[in-house]
Chains A and B, each alone.
Chain A
Amino acid sequence: MKRHSFRLYRHYVALNIRSSMQYKSSFMFTILGQTIATVSTLLSLIFIFQRFPVIKGFTLNDVILCAGIVQLQFSIAEMWARGFDRFAVTVRRAEFDRILLRPRNHVLQVLGSQFELSRIGRLIQGIIMIVYGVIKAQVNWTFLKGLTLFNMIVCGTLLFSGLHMIRAGLCFFTLQGLEFMNIFTDGFREHGKYPLSIYGDKFLLICTIVIPYTLTQYYPLLYLIGKRTDWWLPWSPLPSLLFLIPCWLIWRIGVRHYQSAGS
C-alpha cells in the first residue's frame, strides 16, 4: 500500500511537470523574474553590509548562508505543497468532492494536484547562496555539520508545508484565500533572511514557542557557522516537527466540516 502511494505520487508529479513544460517561454520568464528578485535582494544585502560589516555578530557571509537556507526551505515547500497553497480555488470550485470520492489518501491527492516546477529558479538560487555562504563563511565540514544542514532543510520545508496546510484547513471555513497567512510563509522567507536573533530576544522567544521558526533557522545556524558547539544543536530542528500535529488537526477538522460549494 505504501509503495503504491509513492508510485501514485510520482505519477502525479510527472504529469504536472509534463504539463508545465508545454508552456516553455512562460516557464523561462517566471524563472527569470525570480532571478531578478534574488539579485536585487543580494545587492541590498551587500550595500547594507558595506556600511555595517557585523550586525549583532553576523557577517554578510553568515546572512547569505542563512538567506539561502530559508529560501531553499520555502521553495521546496512551495513546489510540492502548492496544492495546499492554492487550496481555496479547489474548495470554491468544489473540486474537493472529486478528491473525497477517490479511494486514496486526501493529503496525497492534494499534494499531487499541483507541482510547481517553475519554483525551481528560487530553489537553485537558494542552493547557490548556500554553497557561496558555506565556502565564504569557512564552514569546516564535519559529519555533524552536514547533518545539521540536512535537518534544517528537511524540517524547515516541512514547517512551511505545515503552514500551507493550516491555510488550506482554514479555507474549508472561509471558502476564501486567506492572504494574511502570507505573513507566516512569505513573511518568514523575506524577514528570515537575517538570523532571527537580530530582531530581539522577545521576538526570538515568540518564534520558538508559537511557530518554531528558530529551530529550523537560528539555533542550527549557530552550530553551522561555528558560533556554538553544544551537542544538541545539530538535532535542534527535529522538535519543530511537533508543529505538524496542530497543522494536521486543523486540516482534519476542516475536512470534517467540508460542505460542498459550487455546482
Chain B
Amino acid sequence: MKKYFSFFRLRLAMGLQYRTAAIAGLVTQFFWGFMLIGAYRAFYESNPSAFPMSFQAMVSYIWLQQAFLAVFITWRYDEDIFTMITDGGISYELARPVDLYGMWYAKNLAMRLSEAMLRFAPVLLLAMVLPHPFRLGRPASAAHFFLFLLTMVVGLLLTVAFLMIIYGLAMKTISPTGVRLFFPAIVEFMSGQIIPIPFFPEKLRKIAELLPFAGMQNVPLRIYSGDLSGTPMVTAVVLQFFWLLVFLGIGKLLLSSAEKRAVVQGG
C-alpha cells in the first residue's frame, strides 16, 4: 500500500506546480458558470413550470460542476500511459515490482485531485458571495452535505475506475485513438455534464439514472441541493457503490489479461 501512496504523493506534488494554469482555469470556469446560469435563467423565465429542478438547485449544480470540473472531466487522461502503450515504454512499467492497476490508479487519482485542489475553493468562495440569483446556496441539510461529500469521493473513484477500463482497452488494441474518443463522449453526455440528467426526456432519464455514469457527476451534485432526496437518493448511492465495484473488477481483469499478452512496440 505504501508504494501506491508514494506514486500518489509524487503525482500530487507535480500537479500542484501548475499554478498559473490553475489561475487561468479558474477565470475560465467562473465565466463558464456565469454564462450557463444566464442561459438557464432564460429557460426558467420562459416557462418556470417546465423547469425540472428548482432554480436554486440548478445554480448549485452549475457552481459545483465548475468547481470540481477536474474531478469528473472525462477527457483528461494520463497522456504518459497512452504514449507508453504506443511507443513500447510500457515494458519499463511492467518490469516494476508493483501492480500495474494500483500504480496507474494512484497516479490518475492524484492527477485529478491536484487539479481540483487548486481550483475548487476559489470558485466556491466567489460563488457564495455573488448576488442573488447567481449565489451558491447552502446544502439542503447536514445529512445531505455529508452524503454529498461521500458520493463525491465515490464519484471520483468511479471516474478513475472508468479511465482504467479505457487504458485497458487501449492496451489490448495498442491503438488508443478510437477508444479514447468514443467512450468519453457518451460518458460526458450520460453523466449530466452537458445538461443535467433531469433535463433529459422522461424515458432516457430513467435509463440514465440506472447507468453507472450518473454516479460520475449527477448524483453528488444533486444531493447537495436536496434535488435528489429520500428513496431515490438511497437507490442512487447504492447504485453508485455497486457500479464502482463492477468497474474496478472489469478494469482489473482487463488490465491483467492485457498484461499477460502485452505487445511491446518500438525498438
Contact = CB atoms under 8 A, between A and B. Distances in A.
B211 to A, nearest CB: 16
A55 B46 CA distance: 6
A33 B177 CA distance: 10
Contacts of B24: 178-180
Given A44-B194, A56-B42, A187 B35 contact: yes
A260 interface: no
A259 interface: no
Interface in B17-56: 20-21, 24-25, 27-28, 31-32, 35-36, 38-39, 42-43, 45-47, 50-52
B28 A26 contact: no
Contacts of A47: 195, 199-201
B42 A194 contact: yes
A15 to B, nearest CB: 25
Interface residues of A, number: 33
A199 interface: yes
B188 interface: yes
Contacts of A43: 189
A209 interface: no
Given A47-B201, A48-B199, A194-B42, A179 B50 contact: no
Interface stretch (B83-91, B96-104, B106-114, B178-186): B178-186
B52 A51 contact: yes
A56 B39 CA distance: 11
Contacts of B20: 176
Contacts of B182: 36
A139 interface: no
A183 interface: yes
B31 A51 contact: no
A173 interface: no
Interface in A76-132: none
Contact of B28 (A29, A48, A54, A182): A182
Interface in B41-81: 42-43, 45-47, 50-52
A44 B35 CA distance: 16
Nearest to A198: B42
Contact of B35 (A29, A33, A41, A191): A191
Contact of A183 (B28, B46, B185, B201): B28
Interface residues of B, number: 32
Contacts of B188: 40
Nearest to B195: A44
A183 B31 contact: yes
A249 interface: no
Contact of A37 (B38, B177, B185): B185
A50 interface: yes
A53 to B, nearest CB: 8
Contacts of A198: 38-39, 42
A56 B28 contact: no
A176 B195 CA distance: 33
A200 B34 CA distance: 12
B194 A40 contact: yes
Nearest to B36: A191
A40 B185 contact: yes
Interface string A51-88: 11011100000000000000000000000000000000
A178 B36 CA distance: 23
Contacts of A187: 28, 31-32, 35
Given A40-B185, A179-B21, A48 B27 contact: no
Given A51-B47, A191-B38, A198-B42, 19 more contacts: A29-B177, A29-B178, A36-B181, A36-B182, A40-B185, A43-B189, A48-B195, A48-B199, A51-B50, A51-B51, A52-B47, A179-B28, A180-B24, A180-B28, A183-B27, A187-B35, A190-B35, A199-B42, A203-B38
Interface of A: 25-26, 29, 32-33, 36-37, 40-41, 43-44, 47-48, 50-52, 54-56, 176, 178-180, 182-183, 187, 190-191, 194, 198-200, 203
The 3 closest A-B pairs by CB, nearest first: A179-B24, A198-B42, A199-B38
27 contacts: A25-B177, A36-B181, A40-B185, A44-B189, A44-B194, A44-B199, A47-B195, A48-B199, A51-B43, A51-B51, A51-B52, A52-B46, A52-B47, A54-B46, A56-B46, A179-B21, A180-B27, A180-B28, A183-B28, A183-B31, A187-B31, A190-B35, A191-B35, A191-B36, A194-B42, A198-B42, A199-B39
